[in-house]
Structure 1
Amino acid sequence: MSTTLAQRAAVARTFLFVPGTRPERFDKAAESGADLVILDLEDAVAGGDKDSARENIVEWLRGGREAVVRINSRTSSHWPADIAAIVATGAAVMVPKADDPSVLADLAERAPVIALIETARGVLAAPAISSVPGVVRTALGHIDLAAELGVDPDERQALLTARSSLVLAAAAAGIDSPIDGVTTDLTDPKVLEADVLYGKSLGFSGKLCIHPSQIGTAQTALTPTPDEVAWAEKIRASLPADSGVANVDGHMVDPPVLARAARILATATR
């Protein structure tokens, strides 16, 4: 397992999908400013192109590059070949339709895993999935989940429980907070910004992107603002040496508040 790649996947904010059938885009994606590239073997690749897409990805990764690879789901006939080929490259693996902790545990012994949770069963299993050693992150596939639930994927209230479930599960397991799903609107950056800020307000710390134009907006929205950083620095400086309770601007500051400040400062320096 690549420790460095596992660490990057655990804290990355922006992830850019690239179809495995478009190898001419791989280098451009790696240079797009995204924290990590996700080379896709699943939804973006037609059934007859799976083998050639896998070959494209393996060839590119063997050139010394690093990426996450979204393989096909465990119910797919392509699952065994995907795992055999991708694990051998040292890449991190994104598992779609993740819902079985035992399956993830077996794979996570061989590669860093990002569990893409996009079914009701996966949401209910989120605590167990997040606790699997080697699962470095979870992500929400809210469009597939919404289809299963029969709701509009843009209807935030309908998916609030699912989003909060992933955030709580990640926190309880001690892994970094989840990655939110894609924004399909490529015409209005304000829609993307609103989506990212909404996810951030619930505790998400990453965003799946489907076009390079989304990277800058998502990265900015996920980065603590100057006001947030100033507040955190003020909090950090306020506590006495004995780590007791302090008063800042009329508000009590105790260890939980300090922990939030420390998280903001750590995120700002990533």
Structure 2
Amino acid sequence: MTGSTVRGPHPPLTWLYVPGDRPDVVQKALACGADAVIVDLEDAVAVDRREYARAATAELLASPRSTPVHVRIAGEGDIPSLAGLPGLAGLRLPKVTHASDIHRVAATAPHTPLYALLESALGIENAHAIATAHPAVGGIALGEADLRADLGVGNDAGLDWPRSRVVVAARAAGLPAPVQSVYPDVRDLEGLAASCAHGRSLGFFGRSAIHPRQLPVIERAYLPTAREVESAAEIVAAAEKDAGALALADGRFVDAAIVAAAHRTLFLADRRTGSLSPSGD
């Protein structure tokens, strides 16, 4: 075992959705502390406002942005206006059901990272094929509102199998762990925290939000606890002293996979904390 560390930028934990037809709200979102902003041209925008939303978003992305900006498109007609813009970090594709959906978009948006949203039973069944459809795929995630309707699921537990399926498909494809879908009740921060803890236990990493007040709750839920950091530091220190498999004083067995996970925990613990605070109405 070695003492190698995880390198590179901190992965996003918080993703904030904002309606594309509200440029003033988009500007506020870019300054609120979210790790990434998702400009929505689909569900958050009325049909008769989508052309304006697309034009306003294209204007926003005409120059590079310090905060990564993704766009959830309403349809493939949005792509020519957005692909290749210097401020675009990725396209989020709603209601993906087949690998062919990815191939079609990749052909019209070369060199643009694509993120597939799986929102139906068919999309879940094809999760791995979608995740491996094209090198441009940067991630997959669930769209849980539509998925609930498609499956006829009345409680949260009914989504645990699709959630696990998407986590496994993403990791099997070599993609980052998926981001949790939004929590729709922006005032229920206690429920959000519990939901995030459950998502983390299933293998998700970070979460999308629909209001800035949700951001600090998500970040706290996904950052390691003080006990987790202490344990990770103990594991890394022990591994640096011994090149083979070993057991800690409390009897825990440590191998290379556990050491790698400990390094990831310490890497996450190093990220900025305490800078997000709940926003007002």
> What is the TM-score normalised by the length of structure 2?
0.85
Q: Pick one of 56, 68, 71 that aligns with 2:70.
A: 68
Please name the residue that 2:163 is paired with.
163
Runs of 4+ in 1 over 6 A off after TM superposition: none
Please name the residue that 2:3 is paired with.
none
More displaced 10-residue stretch of structure 1: 119-128 or 241-250: 241-250
Shift in alpha-carbon separation, 1:55–1:240, aligned structure 2, 3 A: closer
Higher relative contact order (CA 8 A, sep 6+): 2
1:207-218 map, 5 Å: 207-218=207-218
What SS class does the counterpart of residue 179 from structure 1 fall into?
coil
1:88-237 map, 5 Å: 88-90=84-86, 91=88, 92-108=90-106, 109-131=110-132, 132-152=134-154, 155-237=155-237
Aligned residue identity for 1:121: L
1:71-97 deviation per Cα after TM superposition (whole angstroms, max 9, x unaligned):
014xxxxx22x0101113141100011
1:201-253 deviation per Cα after TM superposition (whole angstroms, max 9, x unaligned):
10000201000111111111111112111111111111266631111111111
Shift of 1:186: 1.4
What SS class does the counterpart of residue 239 from structure 1 fall into?
helix
Please name the residue that 1:38 is paired with.
38
Please name the residue that 2:82 is paired with.
86
Between the two proteins, what is the percent identity of the paired residues?
39
Aligned residue identity for 1:135: V
1:33-58 deviation per Cα after TM superposition (whole angstroms, max 9, x unaligned):
11000001000111111100101111
What SS class does the counterpart of residue 139 from structure 1 fall into?
strand
Shift of 1:106: 4.5
Shift in alpha-carbon separation, 1:228–1:242, aligned structure 2, 3 A: closer
Aligned residue identity for 2:58: V
What SS class does the counterpart of residue 208 from structure 1 fall into?
strand
Shift of 1:177: 0.2
Confirm or deny: 8 A CA contact 2:84 2:112 kept in the other structure. Answer: no
Shift in alpha-carbon separation, 1:111–1:191, aligned structure 2, 3 A: same
What SS class does the counterpart of residue 88 from structure 1 fall into?
coil
Confirm or deny: 8 A CA contact 1:11 1:176 kept in the other structure. Answer: no
Confirm or deny: 8 A CA contact 2:63 2:85 kept in the other structure. Answer: no
Aligned residue identity for 1:164: S
Shift of 1:146: 0.5
Confirm or deny: 8 A CA contact 2:16 2:36 kept in the other structure. Answer: yes
Confirm or deny: 8 A CA contact 1:171 1:177 kept in the other structure. Answer: yes
Shift of 1:11: 2.6
What SS class does the counterpart of residue 180 from structure 1 fall into?
coil
Shift of 1:14: 0.8
Please name the residue that 1:13 is paired with.
13
> What is the TM-score normalised by the length of structure 1?
0.89
Shift of 1:265: 2.2
Aligned partners of 1:178 and 1:240: how far apart in 2? 31
Runs of 5+ consecutive residues of structure 1 not aligned to the other structure: 1-6, 74-78
Shift in alpha-carbon separation, 1:268–1:113, aligned structure 2, 3 A: farther
1:100-141 deviation per Cα after TM superposition (whole angstroms, max 9, x unaligned):
223314434331111111111111111122223121121211
Aligned partners of 1:100 and 1:262: how far apart in 2? 36
Please name the residue that 1:251 is paired with.
252
Aligned residue identity for 2:126: A
Runs of 5+ consecutive residues of structure 2 not aligned to the other structure: 1-7, 272-281
Confirm or deny: 8 A CA contact 1:39 1:68 kept in the other structure. Answer: yes
* More helix as a share of residues: 1
Shift in alpha-carbon separation, 1:103–1:200, aligned structure 2, 3 A: same
Aligned residue identity for 2:252: H
What SS class does the counterpart of residue 172 from structure 2 fall into?
helix
| RMSD over aligned Cα atoms | 1.8
Shift of 1:99: 1.8
Shift in alpha-carbon separation, 1:240–1:54, aligned structure 2, 3 A: closer
Shift in alpha-carbon separation, 1:39–1:253, aligned structure 2, 3 A: same
Aligned partners of 1:156 and 1:244: how far apart in 2? 43
